[in-house]
Amino acid sequence: MCGVLREISPRVRSIKPLQSSVVALRAGQIEEELTQGVKKSFRQLINLIWGDPQSAGIKPLTFVRQVLSACLYPQLLDNDRLPADARQRAKALLSECQGGSLGSYTDLPGIPQVVREISDFITRRDGGVPSYPENILLAPGSQWALQNILNLLVHGGGGAGGGDGAVRSGVLTPVPTHVTSIMSLMGLGGVSVPYYLSEEQGWKVEVEELNRALEAAKPMCNPVAIYIINPGNPSGHVQSRKSIQDVIRFASEKRLFLLADEVYQDCIYKENIEFVSYKRVLAEMGPPFSNTVELASFHSTSKGFLGECGLRGGYVELVNMDPAVMKHVFTIFSKDNTPTPSQIALSVMANPPQPGDPSYSLYAVETQQIRTTVTGNVRRVHEVLSSLPGVSSQPVEGGAFAFPRLNLPSKAIRTAKELKMEPDTFYCLRLLENTGACIAPGSEYGQKDGTYHIRFCITAKRDKIEDLLTRLVAFHTQFMDEFS
């Protein structure tokens, strides 16, 4: 490597590129080849590698977009093509923007009305457990918010900016889990301490395993926090109240900061299962837990009914933070403003049209349609996967992904290893080459040694799911034949 930039910061060098790039990158090349007229056995790719509902044909909610367009182009505020409540919301939001424009910087932590709406939303969601606007910070996506909190928690080796010789900070992270959070952690010089979810028990979090992970980590790092994603990505597991209590007790006993990634809180697909927030359970447990355990809960406009990944809106609510620490939190978040369109999307997520509002019925129909579609997808995926030899699947209770396990023939595993490839990556690349279906290998999310998985998005239009399943079934049968 030549050039002035001879040495790349080890912080950055330790960040592995998104491994799904292997499959996603090849998908990009194939798309290019198709455009150039290269003949393939398929005409189009079907890409369900990311949790990106709108790219998979789910339509945006009309009210979100109406409020956004009226805020951005206020000439529409007197346009009867937009319903009165959308225009009214836009006016109210603009009245709290400097100069009445989305083009101005907003105050920290954001447009006051948006922060109030979020705190009201949380209070309603948690059955009256109070939420305070001053504990809420907005960010361009929940991952930015998480990165800011990690920045506070994580000391690099030797400690950037002082504290030489300090031990690196560790964060307990589930296996499997999506990679973005771990990239943030590694980027800060932190250590990811893996705890395994119990696949056999539907990807349950087990306290025994948390204890094992913590003890195993101690010689290497100083564990400071535990990261949990509920509902799970990619696991699809939804934690019970009891399980959340267990984790809170563990965090309290071990003095760990709780990072609760709850971005899939609206994505629940099984009857008799409900999402309960860490905040609520913590409050209900009472002292000494409710007034000591430090918690950061993250939510986002990218998931749930909105599915507005492109708008990048997220927030974090902080609980039991020392006021002296909160000052630093504000300083970090003050480094930049959350984009105003992201804030508008957060407003609608937290405060959707209510019965009696002009936009209520359309909003209700649209959200119901999405719910029906995705619940149907989950059933259909389960049905098809159950029929495939060598595939076993835990129930998808929530979240945005199916994560079935592949019992691959040993010949396939050998072939993959000869190619210096993870066996499930080999499977996904072959699937992509042969059928144009783009999904992710489990090895990118972490999995127990010797187990293999695939992940694909279920928050998609039905015909996309059918298309994927058709290609997957044909390929899988042939693959199992070839390698058995």
* Residues 319-348 close enough to bind a second copy by CB under 8 A: 320-322, 324-325, 327-328, 330-332, 334-342
Q: Quote the least distance from Cβ 233 to a second copy, whole Å.
A: 15
CB neighbours of 301 closer than 8 A, spacing ≥ 6? 308, 311, 312, 313, 314, 342, 345, 346, 349
Task: Give the residue with the Cβ less far from a second copy, 140 or 232.
Answer: 140
CA nearest neighbour of 343 among 149, 96, 125: 96
Q: Show the tokens assigned to 377.
A: 């997808």
Q: For 87, phi and psi rounded to 5 degrees?
A: -70, -35
Which stretch, 59-67, 204-212, 260-268, 356-364, contacts a second copy (CB under 8 A)? 59-67
CA 105 to chain centre: 27
Q: Quote the least distance from Cβ 164 to a second copy, whole Å.
A: 5
Q: Quote the least distance from Cβ 418 to a second copy, whole Å.
A: 26
Residue 69 binds to a second copy (criterion: CB under 8 A): yes
Please give the residues from 250 up to 269 whose contact with a second copy meets the rule CB under 8 A: 251, 255-257
Please give the residues from 216 up to 245 whose contact with a second copy meets the rule CB under 8 A: 224
Residue 60 binds to a second copy (criterion: CB under 8 A): yes
CB neighbours of 62 closer than 8 A, spacing ≥ 6? 359, 362, 363, 366
DSSP string over 407-442:
---HHHHHHHHHTTS-HHHHHHHHHHHHH-EE-EEG
**Identified binder of a second copy from the candidate list 35, 43, 164, 272, rule CB under 8 A:** 164
Please give the residues from 395 up to 414 whose contact with a second copy meets the rule CB under 8 A: none
Please give the residues from 165 up to 224 whose contact with a second copy meets the rule CB under 8 A: 165, 168-169, 180, 183-184, 186-189, 224
Residue 68 binds to a second copy (criterion: CB under 8 A): yes
**Identified binder of a second copy from the candidate list 29, 95, 98, 201, rule CB under 8 A:** 98
The single-letter DSSP state of residue 356 is: T
Which stretch, 140-148, 281-289, 361-369, 375-383, contacts a second copy (CB under 8 A)? 140-148
Which stretch, 10-18, 128-136, 208-216, 357-365, contacts a second copy (CB under 8 A)? 10-18
**Identified binder of a second copy from the candidate list 46, 97, 193, 346, rule CB under 8 A:** 97
Amino acid identity for residue 241 in this structure: R
Q: Quote the least distance from Cβ 73 to a second copy, whole Å.
A: 4
Task: Give the residue with the Cβ less far from a second copy, 55 or 367.
Answer: 55
CB atoms closer than 10 angstroms to residue 411: 11
Which stretch, 150-158, 274-282, 437-445, 449-457, contacts a second copy (CB under 8 A)? 150-158
Q: Are the C-beta atoms of residues 312 and 357 closer than 8 Å to each other? A: no
Q: Show the tokens assigned to 196.
A: 């395994």
Q: Quote the least distance from Cβ 79 to a second copy, whole Å.
A: 7
Burial class (CB in 10 A: 0-12, 13-18, 19+), 34: middle
Task: Give the residue with the Cβ less far from a second copy, 132 or 477.
Answer: 132
Residue 285 binds to a second copy (criterion: CB under 8 A): no
Facing residues of 357 across strands?
Answer: none
Q: Are the C-beta atoms of residues 343 and 136 closer than 8 Å to each other? A: no
CA nearest neighbour of 58 among 274, 377, 328, 411: 377
Q: Quote the least distance from Cβ 19 to a second copy, whole Å.
A: 11
Please give the residues from 442 up to 481 whose contact with a second copy meets the rule CB under 8 A: none
Please give the residues from 103 up to 122 whose contact with a second copy meets the rule CB under 8 A: 103-107
Residue 45 binds to a second copy (criterion: CB under 8 A): no
Which stretch, 72-80, 192-200, 423-431, 448-456, contacts a second copy (CB under 8 A)? 72-80
| Local structure of 482: helix, strand or coil | helix
> Where would I find the beta strands (DSSP E) of 347-408?
391-392, 401-402, 405-406
Dist CA 390 CA 479 (whole Å) = 11
CA nearest neighbour of 325 among 303, 300, 296: 296
Which stretch, 233-241, 259-267, 276-284, 308-316, contacts a second copy (CB under 8 A)? 308-316
CA 321 to chain centre: 24
Task: Give the residue with the Cβ less far from a second copy, 50 or 475.
Answer: 50
In degrees, rounded to 5, the angle at the alpha carbon of residue 163 between the alpha carbons of residues 158 and 164 is 45
CA nearest neighbour of 66 among 79, 55, 56: 79
**Identified binder of a second copy from the candidate list 309, 385, 391, 472, rule CB under 8 A:** 309
Task: Give the residue with the Cβ less far from a second copy, 5 or 387.
Answer: 5
Task: Please tell me the number of Cα atoms within 13 Å of 102 on its side-chain side.
Answer: 20
**Identified binder of a second copy from the candidate list 83, 109, 140, 352, rule CB under 8 A:** 140
Task: Give the residue with the Cβ less far from a second copy, 107 or 134.
Answer: 107
Dist CA 254 CA 170 (whole Å) = 13
Relative orientation angle of helices 21-35 and 423-435, to the nearest 10 degrees: 10
Task: Give the residue with the Cβ less far from a second copy, 124 or 255.
Answer: 255
Residue 152 binds to a second copy (criterion: CB under 8 A): yes
The site that binds a second copy (CB under 8 A) totals a number of residues, namely 113
Dist CA 70 CA 92 (whole Å) = 11
Residue 36 binds to a second copy (criterion: CB under 8 A): no
Q: Are the C-beta atoms of residues 139 and 316 closer than 8 Å to each other? A: yes
Task: Give the residue with the Cβ less far from a second copy, 54 or 367.
Answer: 54
Which stretch, 210-218, 242-250, 289-297, 364-372, contacts a second copy (CB under 8 A)? 289-297
